[in-house]
Structure 1
Amino acid sequence: MRLVTPSLEYLDAYRAALETGWSPRTTRPEAATEELHAISLDPEGFIASLDDPDARGGDIQLQDGNFVKRLPSFRRWIWHAGFCGSIELRWQHGTNALPPTCLGHIGYAVVPWRRREGLATAALGALLPETRRTGLTFVDLTTDPGNTASIRVIEKNGGQLVERRDKALTHGGGEELLFRIHLPLL
């Protein structure tokens, strides 16, 4: 497994995954259609938008339809004998804090036909060293209490449960688990 920086070289495989209905945003399935539209309008611009450490892109639409200011972020594609999924890091410069509208520093999604292969675990582990270079000393990740696969991915990468809490209504409400992974020094 390797993480690849999105590029035109890998775009056809990514597009094919989106066309199946898979979404890189587990809380927003409609993101698949939105990204397919963006790719059709400007493939190069779409690729460039996935690596935005200065938060120059447009606002982000939340699950409830509201828009919030984009955070610095970058996305990597999970690759192992083809496209397997996506993992993304979001942060604010100079702080570990995130705005309340952000579920966590890292989000990931593996395509259904490649699940249960340990790819999400490997991808998260591969992303953590790169994460430290942003200045973060830890990352927070959230998941639903019933998502045992995601809980295992986080725990296998050193995640510790911080709290059970109510998920923001902007993200659909309900209960969520907050995990934290402390990052090693560079």
Structure 2
Amino acid sequence: MPRFIDPTPRLRDSFLEAVAEFRADRDYPPSWFVGDVDPPALTSPEAFEAYVARVLGERSAAGARDGFVPMTTLWWADGERFLGRMAIRHRLIPALEEIGGHIGYDVRPSARRQGHATAMLAAALPIARSLGLRQVLVMCDRTNTASRRVIEANGGRLIDITELKRRYWVPTTAS
């Protein structure tokens, strides 16, 4: 049964297979997180361990990179299979209010249309609540109907539609 886990070197092979799937996907451009994987981590087990340590370290202000806010990244996995990732940003800055929001998620192409994104967002809301967030800003591309449905299924209330994004407030507790 799929669940969130902390990023771990144990899932390296499956994670790298997913990165390859994201890059080969012609329907959607790869998410920013695919480009954010340290290039040496794609070929070196030791560098992959360092990448995982960096991602885990970003949960604190001290570990956040310049221009980033602290964020909790979790992997959605079923046993040893990496299915997707979720990033919960602990606070907003102006750039995230426009593009990004509190929560970003990605499901590997071979696992899409199986309910994972909806389940991931539902599972992320109590975590966001534990970080002190009563509601989270979640957004999707204007034309991403699947992501719009995921957000709305989790209680998203449309704020507005910008040139690029549909922006929603999602409560972190059941209404």
Q: Deviations over 1:57-80 (max 9, x none)?
A: 464xxxxxxxx5221101111113
Q: Within 5 Å, which residues of 2 pair with 1:24-173? A: 29=31, 31-32=33-34, 34-35=36-37, 37-39=39-41, 40=44, 42-51=47-56, 52-57=58-63, 59=65, 69-80=67-78, 82-92=81-91, 98-102=92-96, 103-165=100-162
Q: Look up the equivalent residue of 1:175 and give its one-letter code.
A: L
Q: TM-score, with normalisation over the residues of structure 2?
A: 0.81
User: For 1:31 and 1:136, how far apart are their aligned partners in 2?
Assistant: 23
Q: Deviations over 1:69-113 (max 9, x none)?
A: 221101111113622111111123xxxxx1121220000111111
The share of aligned pairs that are identical, in percent, is 31
Moved over 6 A (4+): none
| Partner of residue 19, structure 2 | 18
Do the aligned partners of 2:15 and 2:82 also contact (CA within 8 Å) in 1? yes
Do the aligned partners of 2:101 and 2:139 also contact (CA within 8 Å) in 1? yes
Question: Are residues 2 and 31 of structure 1, via their aligned partners in 2, closer, same or farther at CA, if it must alter by over 3 Å?
Answer: closer
Q: Deviations over 1:100-129 (max 9, x none)?
A: 212200001111111100000001111111
The higher relative CO (CA closer than 8 Å, separation ≥ 6) is in: 1
User: For 1:85 and 1:175, how far apart are their aligned partners in 2?
Assistant: 23
Normalized per residue, the structure richer in helix is 2
The Cα of 1:144 is off from its aligned counterpart by 1.6
Gaps of 5+ in 2: none
Aligned length: 162
- RMSD between superposed Cα atoms in Å: 2.4
Q: TM-score, with normalisation over the residues of structure 1?
A: 0.77
The Cα of 1:178 is off from its aligned counterpart by 0.7
Do the aligned partners of 2:21 and 2:108 also contact (CA within 8 Å) in 1? no
